[in-house]
């Protein structure tokens, strides 16, 4: 059986309580990694087993380094000794040489950061030969080519580690990476994660967190104002109960979503009032503290709201979830910092249109967040259509991934419109033409077939409702299916009328009103294991059939408390 994080004990909302939490979460990973690669669980991944093991060893460093004064000597000793073996070419545990765009470049950043911030625990205990091996391997990581994306930060962080241990490096290498990072800035503090305009949680838990840590180490402030600007709109991504609205790739990193708030404190950058930053940070981790996300041995599981490999990308492994420990960056601020001494402020309702992220975020009166979304991304990535291409995402109701197999039950169109020629195999929006923003209304144009054009408009409300209008020009007969929000299947209660359907379960209510009466409301039982929050769900949908020609669908959708 899995257990929630509270199995480690209550989460005390103090700096000392967070230090204890960082150590409790990091220790099981380190202790398993210290048994060597053969002890590493086998998981579905496109990386080698050694790369996966190296993740398990190094990713806890993000949290443990921030909490370093609370980490017991025995845990530091395990980390230091195992890292020495992992980077020794003559050792059976050697993690291997690096190639361009190598996964090990990612973990090299964690090592570089930890050496820069906690050398007394990782570097100083090493013998001369081990120091040579670590410095040599990191030097190669510093010079290795990376993916043209947030990865440009990795050599920069490695460079800080090399500086701290007194190893030589060419400053021009880091300078070129920093220049390239600057070229990804769009507007209002928003970075695209590589060419193509994709914006997601890699802004807070990569671009801005790294930029602020870089500033802390170097004094280079070129990325400080973008981080502050992003933070001011990022507030709208979080519900009053601490949940972040799930959207985009790498959701398996879980509470890394909240790392920016602590990174601001680490860099002493008051982008928003400290009481707000503290509130978002503390409530976010508390929200996760009650989720069943631990394996029986206390390790973080692979998944989101529960262990589930099916809702994560192919690059996540049993070691990947510890990127979540970036959330502990605020521990780098002292106990007397206002981030820790301020009484957390609770956010109120907000409507935040943002052209750079091509979305409107709405936090309603009850504190829940809906993201109306005009982004999309066609990628060779498991679940990419669902993580980017839905029209609406919810902090309260999450979203689902499509499963392999026929039928609408496998397509699971929560927050989406899907189309089919035969009523068996379904297509949703995978990409679209830009996206226009007019106040709180978003519009996108997408073409699932050459002779089918859909113009979708989404209008945000402030009370848990939003409206979707689809103007469909089709040269073929199409079956249509459009979903509201899923709720847990266990204990659900549904009511269906001619033009509406409402379903409630476990305190969550999902409702659809078909304003035109052109479609049939019904209750769908999606494939188990497709949802981020709940293993088994039901979904209210509208179904219809369109003949060739021009048509308009209009409906209203609600997610809120029952």
CATH of the domain at 255: 1.50.10.10
What pLDDT score was predicted for residue 343?
A: 95
Paired with 437 in beta bridges are: 442
Q: What angle do CA 166, 171, 172 make, to 5 degrees?
A: 160
What pLDDT score was predicted for residue 354?
A: 94
Residue 539 lies in domain: 350-561
**What is the C-alpha separation between 355 and 264, in angstroms, rounded?**
24
Residues 388 and 419 grouped into a single domain: yes
Q: 313: helix, coil or strand?
A: coil
Residues 334 and 367 grouped into a single domain: no
Residues 229 and 369 grouped into a single domain: no
Paired with 500 in beta bridges are: 513
The Cα-based distances of 396 to 25, 159, 246 in angstroms read: 25, 41, 10
Residues 266 and 389 grouped into a single domain: no
Residues 431 and 327 grouped into a single domain: no
Contact yes or no for 484/391 (Cβ under 8 A): no
Angle between helices 128-143 and 171-183 (to 10 degrees): 40
Residues 327 and 361 grouped into a single domain: no
Look at residues 537, 463, 543, 535 and name the one whose alpha carbon lies nearest to residue 496.
543
Residues 513 and 405 grouped into a single domain: yes
Give the containing element (helix H, strand E) for 551: strand 549-561
Please give the DSSP secondary-structure letter assigned to residue 207: I
Contact yes or no for 473/489 (Cβ under 8 A): no
Q: 552: helix, coil or strand?
A: strand
Q: 208: helix, coil or strand?
A: helix
Rg, the chain, Cα only: 24
Residues 308 and 403 grouped into a single domain: no
Residues 13 and 102 grouped into a single domain: yes
At 108, list the tokens.
């090299």
What pLDDT score was predicted for residue 33?
A: 98
Residues 49 and 150 grouped into a single domain: yes
Look at residues 12, 10, 25 and name the one whose alpha carbon lies nearest to residue 300.
25
**What is the C-alpha separation between 500 and 298, in angstroms, rounded?**
44
Contact yes or no for 527/442 (Cβ under 8 A): no
User: Which of 319, 341, 363 finishes a domain?
Assistant: 341
**What is the C-alpha separation between 161 and 167, in angstroms, rounded?**
9
CATH number at residue 435: 2.70.98.70
Residues 324 and 362 grouped into a single domain: no
User: Which of 314, 341, 368 finishes a domain?
Assistant: 341
User: Which of 341, 376, 395 finishes a domain?
Assistant: 341
Please give the DSSP secondary-structure letter assigned to residue 458: E
**What is the C-alpha separation between 160 and 147, in angstroms, rounded?**
20
The helix, strand and coil proportions of the chain, stated in percent and rounded to the nearest 5, come to 40, 20, 40
Give the E-state strand segments of 239-377 in sequence order: 350-354, 359-363, 369-373
At 32, list the tokens.
């398993």
Find tokens 């150590």 and name the residue: 23
pLDDT per residue, tens digit, the chain (562 aa), is 789 999 999 999 999 999 999 999 999 999 999 999 999 988 778 889 999 999 999 999 999 999 999 999 999 999 999 999 999 999 999 999 999 999 999 999 999 999 999 999 999 999 999 999 999 999 999 999 999 999 999 999 999 999 999 999 999 999 999 999 999 999 999 999 999 888 999 999 999 999 999 999 999 999 999 999 999 999 999 999 999 999 999 999 999 999 999 999 999 999 999 999 999 999 999 999 999 999 999 999 999 999 999 999 999 999 999 999 999 999 999 999 999 999 999 999 999 999 999 999 999 999 999 999 998 887 778 888 899 999 999 999 999 999 999 999 999 999 999 999 999 999 999 888 768 899 899 999 999 999 999 999 999 987 999 999 999 999 999 999 999 999 999 999 999 999 999 999 999 999 999 999 999 999 999 999 999 999 999 999 999 999 999 999 999 999 999 9
Helix (DSSP H) and strand (DSSP E) numbers for the chain: 17, 19
Residue 153's CB is within 10 A of a number of other CB atoms, namely: 24
Tally the domains of the chain. 2
Residues 450 and 510 grouped into a single domain: yes
């Amino acid at each position: 059986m899995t257990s929630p994080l509270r199995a480690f004990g209550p989460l005390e909302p103090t700096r000392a309580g967070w230090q204890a939490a960082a150590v409790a979460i990091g220790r099981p990973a380190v202790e398993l990694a210290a048994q060597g690669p053969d002890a590493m669980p086998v998981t579905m991944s496109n990386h080698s087993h050694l790369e996966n093991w190296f993740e398990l060893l190094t990713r806890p460093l993000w949290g443990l380094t921030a909490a370093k004064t609370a980490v017991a000597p025995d845990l530091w000793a395990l980390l230091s000794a195992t890292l020495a073996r992992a980077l020794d070419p003559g050792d059976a545990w050697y993690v291997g040489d690096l190639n361009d765009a190598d996964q090990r470049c990612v973990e090299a950043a964690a090592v570089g950061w930890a050496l820069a911030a906690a050398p007394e625990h990782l570097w100083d205990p090493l013998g001369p030969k081990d120091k040579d091996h670590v410095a040599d391997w990191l030097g190669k990581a510093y010079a290795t080519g990376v993916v043209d994306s947030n990865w440009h930060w990795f050599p920069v962080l490695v460079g800080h580690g090399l500086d701290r241990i007194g190893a030589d490096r060419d400053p021009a290498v880091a300078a070129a990476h920093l220049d390239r990072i600057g070229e990804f800035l769009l507007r209002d503090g928003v970075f695209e994660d590589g060419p193509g305009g994709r914006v997601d949680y890699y802004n807070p838990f990569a671009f801005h967190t790294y930029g602020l840590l870089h500033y802390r180490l170097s004094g280079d402030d070129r990325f400080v104002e973008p981080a502050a600007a992003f933070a001011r709109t990022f507030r709208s991504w979080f519900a009053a109960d601490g949940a972040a609205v799930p959207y985009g790739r790498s959701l398996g990193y879980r509470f890394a979503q909240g790392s920016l708030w602590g990174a601001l404190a680490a860099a002493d950058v008051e982008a928003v009032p400290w009481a707000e930053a503290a509130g978002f940070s503390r409530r976010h981790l508390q929200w996760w503290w009650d989720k069943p996300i631990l394996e029986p041995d206390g390790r973080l599981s692979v998944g989101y709201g529960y262990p589930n490999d099916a809702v994560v990308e192919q690059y996540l492994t049993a070691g990947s979830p510890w990127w979540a420990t970036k959330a502990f960056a605020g521990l780098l601020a002292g106990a007397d910092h206002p981030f820790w001494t301020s009484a957390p402020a609770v956010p109120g309702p907000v409507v935040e249109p943002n052209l750079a992220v091509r979305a409107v975020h709405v936090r309603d009166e009850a504190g829940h967040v809906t993201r109306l979304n005009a982004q999309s991304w066609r990628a060779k990535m498991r679940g990419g259509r669902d993580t980017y291409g839905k029209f609406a995402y919810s902090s309260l109701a999450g979203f689902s991934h499509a499963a392999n197999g026929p039928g609408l039950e496998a397509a699971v169109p929560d927050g989406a419109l899907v189309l089919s020629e035969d009523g068996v195999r379904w297509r949703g929006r995978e990409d679209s033409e830009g996206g226009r923003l007019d106040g709180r209304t978003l519009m996108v144009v997408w073409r699932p077939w050459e002779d089918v054009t859909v113009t979708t408009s989404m209008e945000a409300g402030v009370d848990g409702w939003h409206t979707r209008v689809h103007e469909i020009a089709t040269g073929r007969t199409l079956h249509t299916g459009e979903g509201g929000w899923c709720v847990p299947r266990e204990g659900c209660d549904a009511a269906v009328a001619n033009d509406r359907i409402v379903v409630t379960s476990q305190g969550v209510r999902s409702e659809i009103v078909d304003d035109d009466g052109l479609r049939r409301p019904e209750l769908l039982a999606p494939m188990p294991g497709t949802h981020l929050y709940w293993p088994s769900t039901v979904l209210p949908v509208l179904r219809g059939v369109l003949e060739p020609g021009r048509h308009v669908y209009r409906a209203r959708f609600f997610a809120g408390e029952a």
